[in-house]
Amino acid sequence: MFAHVQGRKDASREWGEHVDKVLCGQLGLIKNRADQCIYQGTINQCHVILARATDDILVGTSSLDTYNHIVTTLESHWKIHNMGQVSHFFGLRFLFSSNCMTIDQTHMAHEVFNMFMVRPGINKLSQEPT
């Protein structure tokens, strides 16, 4: 995050506006109305979905060239740490096969249920091993 906005009340808003200028302005992505941290669009004739959580960004596209274009654009603004293919992102588990990606949120659903729905004397949901 920018050193000059850290610690200020509006730091999160200013950072978000800066990120939006790059993702929407430069890359031409559109923010999802239901979830303001999801962006989508078409770059180099390939569909792109991008998820952002503060300064963590997850990029989804079927084209390596499009992915590299996005990374190059981001690198022109920030120092990027490529973590490779995603396996987990904010409680979601990503599973890949040769032609399919599955997003599993069972673990997160169990955590939310156990946090808000469990009452004294009622057992918590157990995690099934996968």
105 and 76 housed in the same domain: no
| Total tally of structural domains belonging to the chain | 2
Residue listed under structure tokens 């499009």: 66
60-71 burial string, b = 16+ CB within 10 Å, else e? ebeeeebbebbe
98 and 69 housed in the same domain: no
Q: Which domain covers residue 62, as residue numbers? A: 1-84
Could you say which DSSP state residue 126 is in?
Answer: P
pTM exceeds 0.75: no
38 and 23 housed in the same domain: yes
**Rounded distance, CA 34 to CA 53, Å?**
15
**Rounded distance, CA 34 to CA 92, Å?**
18
34 and 89 housed in the same domain: no
In tens digits, what is the pLDDT along the chain, a chain of 130 residues? 445 556 677 788 888 899 999 999 999 999 999 988 999 999 999 999 999 988 889 999 989 999 999 999 999 999 989 888 888 887 788 888 888 888 888 887 888 887 777 666 666 656 555 5
Tokens at 97, concatenated: 């096969």
29 and 77 housed in the same domain: yes
Q: What Rg, from alpha-carbon coordinates, does the chain have?
A: 18
3-state SS string over 35-91? CCCEEEEEECCEEEEEEEECCEEEEEECCHHHHHHHHHHHHCCCCCCCCCCCCEECC
